Amino acid sequence: MLIFGLCSSTIAPLTDIASRSEGPVEARSGLDPWDKAELPVPPNPHGLGWLKAVGPGVIVLGVSIGSGEFLLGPTTFVRHGLSLLWVVGVAVTLQAIFNTELMRYTLATGEPVFTGFMRTRPKARAWAWLYAVLYFLQVGWPAWAGTAAGAIFFLFMRRLPTAPDANVIYFIGVGTFLVCVAILSFGRRIERTLELLNWILIAAILGSFLILALVFVPARTWLAGVLGLTGFDLTRGTFDFLPADTDLFLLGALVAYSGAGGVTNIVLSNWARDRGYGMGERAGYIPCAIGGTKVTLAHNGFMFDGDAEGMKRWRGWWRIISADQWGVFFAGAILGMLLPAMIYVTFLTRGTNIQGLGVSAALAQAITGTSGALLGGVIAFLGAWILFKTQLDQLEGMVRAITDILWTGSSTVRTWRGGDVRAVYYCVLGIVVLWGIMALRLAQPIVLLQIGANVGGFVFVIASIHLLYINTTLLPEHIRPPMWRRVGLVVMCVFYGFFVVRSAMSFWNS
């Protein structure tokens, strides 16, 4: 009943209950209420100016290419065929809706959505702990540094790593992890650093994969890939939405990481705040330790009036985030999954299990055997760069989310070291790095990645409904989502809930 109540524009019992309580609705979990302010004037880009206007979607797309698109996708499609690409189309569509709803809240308030979640009952602290733990369980494992190590190993040794090479892979992974820390320490605005690096990543990776696909992938495989987005298996001549003997734990991980995945999507709103989208321009941002200056970061958000001028500006900002998510994230995520999938199945025999220490270098080895060492080395380099960059984004997102949760929820934290948010950010970074160095010893990186991805699916189940709640109860009527978007969030909960349950059952029975 809760879900249908939230979806209804006329029946809102939870809102009625809240209206009978004292105080602003956004302050009833213990946080400070919003301040009144004008919504800043949005940019009005034309032509190449759009490249400057978009940003957070570029970061999230860069993360997605390294998780599902380059690791879990190829692992799944090589084993089970391209007909499973249909889950990618559904997942990325639902995530684009989810992402724009995340940014709806941040545009309107200048707050990350984690703060919005903390504004709901029972208490801000309870939600802070829940999402911090989920964030840790999903991306607290430095799996991307570990898998990048496999590609780096191949670059120098020209072979896939095996069990005796585990220590070498570990130390390469630690080194990769520490380089990420160094990058996050320099610059002016951390979000801007990530944005620029991801523009380079996306242009280089998607451009390289497109060239490889045009050169090496036969026309029939192109057709199989496109039809696979509908669930059609061209080899068998039938729709095959769930092939027999499918590894459901692996598929659950792929569904979660088609696109970004779980908490990585949620931290999009933190990057949007630092990018200065909407009210984020008034909230401030997290600067770098070296090269940045002390910035006053607001711990509570703002709200604007729904007059004609305010709504005109709102529509201008909505135009920006629509381009950021549908034009950059959605289109890039589909291409980022389709192109590597076709290339992998061209060079690797169907049914091959490429999981292991060398998962990131399996394609490089296959291409070396058919097209020469030079091209194989290029592929290994691309693999190392993709996974290193993903680790950088995931590490920064986790540290940023925890920092914002602490900053919002504790006045003691906000006054520590003279109110300089950099002190909090880099202390959290140090703790996460120490944990990551230990976590690299716990299991093979691809196993850690699958565990985190399945947690990401569970996060979507919770967060989609929680986001629906805050956007239909905390936000004023004039900027609440339309009915089709509310239905989309419910469908997202059901879609991911199905795969979470199937994945859990498969893991339990294995």
The whole-number pLDDT of residue 481 equals 97
Q: What is the pLDDT of residue 18?
A: 39
Q: Choose among 236, 342, 325, 301: nearest CA to 105.
A: 301
With a CB cutoff of 8 Å and minimum separation 6, the contacts of 244 are: none
Burial environment of residue 67 by CB neighbours within 10 A (0 to 12, 13 to 18, 19 or more): buried
> H helices within 36-165, ranges in order?
49-53, 56-64, 73-80, 86-109, 113-118, 124-139, 143-157
Residue 274 burial class via C-beta count within 10 angstroms: exposed 0-12, middle 13-18, buried 19 and up: buried
Beta carbons within 8 Å of 169's beta carbon, 6+ residues apart:
146, 149, 150, 153, 161, 357
Nearest to 75 by CA among 275, 348, 324, 262: 348
- Give pTM, 2 decimals: 0.86
Distance CA 41, CA 263 (A): 29
- pLDDT in the model for residue 22: 61
Q: Which residues of 307-323 are buried (b: 16+ CB within 10 A; e: fewer)?
A: eeebeebbebbbebbee
* Structural domains in the chain, sorted by start: 2-410+439-509 (1.20.1740)
Cis geometry, peptide bond prior to residue 445 (ω within 30 degrees of 0): no
CA distance linking residue 380 with residue 373, whole number of Å: 10
Q: Within the chain, what is the greatest distance between any pair of CA atoms?
A: 72
Residue 182 identity (one-letter amino acid): A
> Which ranges constitute the DSSP H helices of 8-85?
13-19, 49-53, 56-64, 73-80
Tell me the three-class secondary structure of 237-269, residue by residue.
CEECCCCCCCCHHHHHHHHHHCCCCCHHHHCHH
- Provide the residue-wise pLDDT of the chain in tens; the chain has 510 residues: 334 344 443 333 334 433 434 678 888 888 889 999 999 999 999 888 888 888 888 888 887 776 666 667 777 888 888 999 999 999 999 999 999 999 999 999 999 999 999 999 888 889 988 998 888 888 887 777 877 787 788 888 878 787 788 888 888 888 888 888 888 887 777 777 888 888 888 888 888 889 989 999 999 999 999 999 999 999 889 999 988 888 888 888 888 888 888 888 998 998 899 889 999 999 888 877 676 677 778 788 999 988 999 999 999 999 999 999 999 999 999 998 899 889 888 888 877 666 554 555 667 777 777 777 777 777 778 778 877 888 888 888 888 889 888 888 888 888 887 788 888 888 998 888 888 888 887 766 667 777 777 888 899 999 999 999 999 999 999 999 999 999 999 999 999 999 888 888 877 776
d(CA 95, CA 265): 8
Cα–Cα distances (Å) from 303 to 34, 102, 294, 319, 507, in that order, read 6, 16, 25, 19, 45
Q: What's the sign of the alpha-carbon dihedral 268, 273, 277, 278?
A: positive
Proportion of the chain in helix, strand, coil states, percent, rounded to 5: 75, 0, 25
The per-residue pLDDT for 200 is: 84
